[in-house]
Amino acid sequence: MTVILTKTKAEQALLQGFDGVAGALPGAPWMAAQRRKALGVLEAAGLPHRRIEEWKYTDLRAALKEAFPPAVAAGGKRAEAPSSAALVAAIGPELAEIAAVRAIFRNGRFAGFAGSSTMPDGLSLASLADALAGPDDISLARALAQQGDTARAAVIAINTAYLSDGALIRVAAGATIALPIHLVFLNDAAEPLAVTTRNVIEIGAGAVVTIIESHVGRVETARQANAVTQLVIGEGATVQHVKVLGQGRRAVHLGSSLAEIDASATYRAFEFAAGVGLVRNETTVTYRGSHARADVSGITLGRERDHVDTTLTIDHAVPHCESRELFKYVLDGEARGVFQGKVIVRPDAQKSDGKQMAQALMLSETAEFDSKPELEIYADDVVCGHGSTVTEIDPELVFYCRSRGIPLEAARALLIDSFIGEAIEKVDNAELAAALAAISRRWLVA
């Protein structure tokens, strides 16, 4: 029996509100056509709900009661850049101290650069809105036509239809970008706003680069963010990609990272979420060449009624590739953590090596952790495994610390810091790893 769902208030607003803002959204005619096509995908699919297996723990259709007004670039103008003090307050002193090439996006629009004033050799970094208004770009058009599979089609379709800006990053073959590229998405509007951004990142063969995404904003203001990052990583390239979320508990963040990896390339992704409301982070890694490696890890620090859903798909489409996933959750109050990790090994992907682990430390009896690791293996010469654990702080370890003169709260913080430390070590940049550890400690004593 086919069940036809009536459109919710949010779905109706997304479908009917497009015409009112279409003229203020960036892009040449080909992009306008792509937006209309995406709107059709949204109308057919609707918002994902618990009857869809991949969304059983995060019913977006029920959670999204309304659709906030979309951010648009009035008259094509850039946003006003935040003050240095406001920028530091938003991203935190730990990340602000890291020397980087910073591109600032304020309420969905490019607001200029901060940090290093010189663009490194081999790096092209521009506003996606500017690129959409320019001449036809085949690789960019191909990226924006990508809708993902049916489970995530609606979320990416919303992004395509309403995207206002983002970063277009191209790194030349063989280039080593010494400074991290820090994309700061600051959502500080005083009124509720829907911010839709996309990053298109192309890394040439043999290049080396670190990319940081910070999604931050006013903690007292409700907002909805839909952020997509697409990466194409060339043969032998090495990419570190760190995403940091701290938008406040009245925020909804729908994040999608889509990475395609060529032969012998390395992709190291890390997701850090603390002080958030409803988050759904999806990461899909697809191997396009043999002997490539991906390490996708992260930390979730949740309290009160935070809800963080991490969903991964690692597609071993070719032989001789390796994948590693490690996610740590620290949950207090009525926070809920979700981990869904799927490793797919295609029939011809012999010699694949995939391992994943999700671990939760429960600080409250009312916190919840849902874990669903999956393996789909269609080849016979592989090494794959997965695991998941849930635990509490060991009272004997707390007693041991206190017997050495360490106060109770300090002892608990020390043990929590040790628990998440294994994941932070996955960040292959000492300065960045230290900053994330410092942010974690600040959360622990807040």
Q: What is the pLDDT of residues 182-204, one digit of tens each?
A: 999 999 888 899 999 999 999 99
Could you read off the pLDDT of 140-171 as tens digits, one per residue?
877 887 665 556 789 999 999 999 999 999 99
Residues 6+ apart with CB under 8 A from 309: 57, 58, 279, 280, 281, 338, 340
325, 423 Cβ separation under 8 angstroms: no
Instruction: Say how far apart CA 240 and CA 269 lie, in whole Å.
Output: 6
Instruction: Say how far apart CA 318 and CA 302 lie, in whole Å.
Output: 37
Residue 119, CA distances (Å) to 21, 100, 429 in order: 34, 10, 20
| pLDDT at residue number 79 | 86
Could you read off the pLDDT of 292-335 as tens digits, one per residue?
999 999 999 999 999 999 999 999 999 999 999 999 999 999 99
| pLDDT at residue number 139 | 77
Give the rounded percent of residues in the chain with a pLDDT score beyond 70: 95
Name the more confident of 394 and 232: 232
Could you read off the pLDDT of 365-389 as tens digits, one per residue?
999 999 999 999 999 999 999 999 9
The Cα angle at residue 212 between residues 363 and 225, in degrees rounded to 5: 70
Give the rounded percent of residues in the chain with a pLDDT score beyond 90: 71
Averaged pLDDT of the chain: 91
Chain centroid, CA 208 distance in Å: 20
Name the more confident of 272 and 413: 272
| pLDDT at residue number 1 | 42
Q: Which pair of structure tokens corresponds to residue 210? A: 């670190």
Question: Does residue 207 carry a pLDDT above 70?
Answer: yes
Question: Range with the lowest mean pLDDT among 113-117, 220-224, 347-351?
Answer: 113-117
Q: What is the largest CA-CA distance in the chain?
A: 70
By C-alpha distance, which of 232, 180, 238 is closest to 207? Answer: 238
Q: What is the pTM of this model?
A: 0.94
Q: Report residue 411's pLDDT band, with 50, 70 and 90 as the boundaries.
A: confident
Torsion of CA 217, 218, 222, 223, to 10 degrees: -20
Could you read off the pLDDT of 66-89 as tens digits, one per residue?
999 998 865 567 888 898 999 999
Question: Does residue 282 carry a pLDDT above 80?
Answer: yes
Sheet holding 276-287: strands in order across?
Answer: 123-127, 167-171, 193-203, 223-233, 248-261, 276-287, 307-316, 336-345, 368-377
Residues 6+ apart with CB under 8 A from 242: 210, 211, 212, 213, 269, 270, 271, 272, 427, 429, 432, 436
Q: Report residue 421's pLDDT band, with 50, 70 and 90 as the boundaries.
A: very high
Residue 328 pairs in a beta bridge with: 299, 359
225, 191 Cβ separation under 8 angstroms: no
| pLDDT at residue number 198 | 96
| pLDDT at residue number 75 | 54
By C-alpha distance, which of 412, 350, 429 is closest to 384? Answer: 350
Sign of the C-alpha dihedral computed for residues 24, 25, 31 and 34 taken in this order: negative
By C-alpha distance, which of 344, 294, 336 is closest to 56? Answer: 336
Residues 6+ apart with CB under 8 A from 103: 110, 112, 113, 125, 167, 181, 182, 183, 184
| pLDDT at residue number 444 | 82
